[in-house]
Amino acid sequence: MSGSIVSFLKRQPARGAWWIALCVMACAGVARAEDPVVKEQDIDENSVTKALTPDDNGDNIVTRGFVLSKPGAAQAKPAAPAKPASLQMLITFTTNSSTLTDSAQAALDKVAHALQSERLAAYRFRVEGHADPRGSDDANMKLSQDRAAAVVAYLTQKDGIAPERLTSVGKGSSEPLNRRNPTAPENRRVTIVTVTN
C-alpha cells in the first residue's frame, strides 16, 4: 500500500474493520490503468515472457470497486473483454529517425530470446509504434510506422524471428500514456501486443 493511503487511513477515526476493508478494496482500484513502460536497460527475457504470455485463468483481473444492491434488483453487467497481453517499452532511436540505437538493439535481442521461448513460440505479435504530439499528425504517423517497422525488421533479420509472426503498425500520437506532459518519453514508445486470434 502506498504511503499516502496508509497516512490517510491513520488519520481516520476508528470505524471498524469493515470500513478499513472497504477503503483497502477501493484503493486497490487505484492500481495502474496501464502497464508500466519498461526502459531498455530493464528489459530481460523473463519479464518479456511474463508480460506477453496470454493469461487464460483470469489472474490479472483488477477490481475497481463494487456496488451493494438488493438481490435481483439488477442484472450484472457482462465482464469487459480481457486486455491482450502486451509489453510497453522505451526503445530509443536517433532523433527524428527510425534508426535503432545500440542500446535499443541490445534490448531487442533480449525480446527476441523471449519470443523464441517455449511459452511464446506459438504466438504472433503486433509491434506498435507511438509518437508524441510534436510535429504534424502526418509526420508523427509516418515516424511511428517507420519505427515499428524498424523493430520488426531488426527482430526478423538480425534475431531470426519468423516474419509471419510479426506485424507492425504506427499509432502516431493518438494514444499518449502521459496526457499531462505530452512530450514525456513514455509517449514515444514501442508496444508489443500478443495476437491470440
Q: What does the pLDDT look like over 84-116, one tens digit per residue?
A: 899 999 999 988 899 999 999 999 999 999 999
**Structural domain includes residue 162:** yes
**Structural domain includes residue 105:** yes
**Structural domain includes residue 13:** no
Q: Per the structure, how many domains does the chain have?
A: 1
Enumerate residues 6+ apart whose C-beta is below 8 A from 97: 146
Instruction: Say how far apart CA 45 and CA 168 lie, in whole Å.
Output: 21
Task: Give me the domain span that covers residue 120.
Answer: 32-63+81-195
Instruction: Give pLDDT, residue 61.
Output: 43
Chain segment 18-46, per-residue pLDDT in tens: 444 434 434 433 333 456 899 999 999 99
Instruction: Say how far apart CA 30 and CA 8 lie, in whole Å.
Output: 14
Under a CB-based contact definition with an 8 Å cutoff, are residues 127 and 169 in contact? yes
CATH number at residue 177: 3.30.1330.60
What average pLDDT does the chain have?
A: 79
Chain segment 50-95, per-residue pLDDT in tens: 999 997 544 444 444 555 555 555 555 555 556 789 999 999 998 8
Instruction: Say how far apart CA 150 and CA 158 lie, in whole Å.
Output: 11
